[in-house]
Amino acid sequence: MTRAEQRLRSIGAAVPDREALPIRILQVGAGNFLRGFADWMVHRANDAGVLRHGIAVMKATPRPDLVTARLAEQAGMYHVVLDGVRDGHPFTETTLVTAVQSVADAHHDWDRCRELMHGEELSLVVSNTTEAGIAYVADDLTAAPPASFPAKMTALLHERWTHFGGDPRRGLSFLPCELIEDNGATLRSLVVRHATEASLAPGFIDWVTRHCHFYDTLVDRIVPGLPEHEAAGLRASLGFDDRLIVRGEHYADWAIAGGPAIRDEFPLDRAGLPVRFVPDLRPYRERKVRVLNGAHTAIAAVGPLVGCRTVLDVVRHPVAGAYLRRLVDDEVLPSLPGASGDPAELRRYAAAILDRFRNPALHHLLADIRLNALSKWRTRNLPVVLDAWSQGRSAELTVFAFACLLTGYAGALGEVEARDDEAFLSRLRAGFDATRPGPWIADLIGSLDWPELHDSATAARLTTEVTTHVRALLTGDPAAVLTALAAGPPAPDVP
């Protein structure tokens, strides 16, 4: 029994006996989603006898948070509370997850992270560093640690390659959960780029290329935070002063693109879990990212205009809810590849997503969705805009969300917490001028190194449309501006 387990029992916590599990998974990130999705699945598969996998959680960001400290205090254990509907009746399922065996902070104990790479049982890396995480940043691989997630992975893989003398059997499989297209392939390309630019040994690059496997994945489960007043009641009922309770919806889906090797290595589906091994993620990814995640990103920027704090607030609000429905029906669904094939099926899919948003047990804070919202808007919402323009349609509701995001970050729409790219936020705040928003928006959009905006006509149109919305927000009543947009264009006169 670990010291943390002994401490928990000494204060009367209902801590079960548990077998120490070999560390087979390195998990990068400790947020609600991974704990309520991947860790929950691994725990369930362990219980079913399909896996015997322990997880080492690595905190990869320098920003302080309490999660990893609390994980260590609670011996890696916490509860996942899932709400769903079965046979028309609501139900709640509570699971004490015990798969996490170890916790490390890359920015305070890099040596411990390096030691994890020496583990003979280690075989998998699961990550969720948000869309901003899988991106190239010029980095120093000798730093302790390197700054970016891909650079950290490069340095840690090099540690493993060195420790095992390039043994091909010690390659790792990566299952990134970040919501970017080709997430596995992109992470692999960045690791190889860092290794090449750092002049690491060709043998190491060959080992990464041939013996490490980076799988594209798509994940789906709404896992919001838990209000303190609900957490207090749950702690009392559980007999465990659990400061890490995760609450989410019971619905889940994990699609992994790859051959039979990854299914043999990580056979979660054989434990009855909602995991699919598919040849091509694209048809699943496009509709999920644009409808569910794109809607989340849009309403997280727009909802505060009318006092909404949660997704449920938005769905129930007469104006914000109308905006959401019009956004999905008029802009998102027509943008999907194959939308002309079976529009009725797409409408059913979108209706099911909105039903999930209405789950009264979920308190999904818009502030949490706004984490790294800039990169989220690019991957989730900008494609809707570009596809609409290419088809001769408007995407004013989607562009409006971007205008709300930028204006909110500037502090011009009340209290809106900004947790995003610090360099961009500094530029945004320094250049903000409520009396002349045009140059400000032009500078911000010009500073974005997004390939989609390298076409000058596209960048110019986005600048013009965002500026129009920002000017309306700054010179009028933001709630009234949203009301007009949500209502849609006036009906044509009937002769």
- pLDDT at 258 (0 to 100): 86
Work out the angle at residue 21's Cα, subtended by the Cα atoms of residues 20 and 24, and round it to the nearest 5 degrees.
155
**Res. 13: pLDDT tops 60:** no
Q: Ramachandran region of residue 222, left (φ > 0), alpha (ψ -120 to 50) or beta?
A: beta
CB atoms under 10 Å from CB of 387, counted, come to 19
Omega before residue 145 within 30° of 0, cis: yes
**Res. 225: pLDDT tops 50:** yes
**Res. 239: pLDDT tops 90:** no
In one-letter notation, the amino acid at residue 239 is G
pLDDT tens track for 379-417: 999 999 999 999 999 999 999 999 999 999 999 998 888
**Res. 186: pLDDT tops 90:** yes
Beta bridge partners of 105: 59
Give the residue-averaged pLDDT of 244-254: 95
pTM: 0.80
* Complete DSSP assignment for 342-399: -HHHHHHHHHHHHHHHT-TT---BHHHHTTTHHHHHHHHTHHHHHHHHHTT---HHHH
**Res. 494: pLDDT tops 60:** no
- pLDDT at 66 (0 to 100): 86
pLDDT tens track for 254-313: 999 988 899 999 999 999 999 999 998 988 888 999 999 999 999 999 999 999 999 999
Q: For residue 85, name the pLDDT band (cuts at 50, 70, 90).
A: confident
Strands 216-220 and 253-257: antiparallel
The enclosing H or E element of 284 equals: helix 282-287
Strands 89-97 and 78-86: antiparallel
Residue with tokens 């039979």: 260
CB atoms under 10 Å from CB of 116, counted, come to 17
CB atoms under 10 Å from CB of 279, counted, come to 7
Query: Which residues, 6+ apart, have CB-to-CB distance to 288 below 8 Å?
Result: 218, 220
| Residue 248 to residue 32: CA distance in whole angstroms | 9
DSSP type of residue 304: G
Query: Which residues, 6+ apart, have CB-to-CB distance to 399 below 8 Å?
Result: 385, 462, 465, 466, 469
Question: Measuring CA to CA, which residue among 329, 321, 253 is closest to residue 290?
Answer: 329
Lowest mean pLDDT among 158-167, 355-364, 439-448: 355-364
Residue % of the chain over a pLDDT of 70: 95
Residue % of the chain over a pLDDT of 90: 80
Higher pLDDT, 138 or 342: 138
Residue with tokens 């849009």: 298
* Complete DSSP assignment for 27-96: EE--SHHHHHTHHHHHHHHHHTTS---EEEEEE--SS--SHHHHHHHTTT-EEEEEEEEETTEEEEEEEE
Give the residue-averaged pLDDT of 231-253: 90
Lowest mean pLDDT among 3-7, 16-20, 475-479: 3-7
Q: For residue 226, name the pLDDT band (cuts at 50, 70, 90).
A: confident
The enclosing H or E element of 315 equals: helix 311-316
pLDDT tens track for 47-65: 999 999 999 999 999 888 8
| Residue 380 to residue 425: CA distance in whole angstroms | 20
**Res. 340: pLDDT tops 50:** no
Lowest mean pLDDT among 30-39, 334-343, 352-361: 334-343
Give the residue-averaged pLDDT of 349-377: 92
Residue with tokens 């990169």: 375
Q: For residue 5, name the pLDDT band (cuts at 50, 70, 90).
A: low
Judge contact between 272 and 294, C-beta under 8 A.
no
Q: For residue 87, name the pLDDT band (cuts at 50, 70, 90).
A: confident
| Residue 36 to residue 41: CA distance in whole angstroms | 8
Judge contact between 232 and 270, C-beta under 8 A.
no
Question: Measuring CA to CA, which residue among 95, 96, 89, 115 is closest to residue 104?
Answer: 115
- pLDDT at 124 (0 to 100): 98
**Res. 11: pLDDT tops 60:** no
Residue with tokens 């409408």: 347
Give the residue-averaged pLDDT of 220-241: 86
Q: How many contiguous H segments (helices) and E segments (strands) does the chain have? A: 24, 12
The enclosing H or E element of 174 equals: strand 173-176
Lowest mean pLDDT among 91-95, 223-227, 333-337, 338-342: 338-342
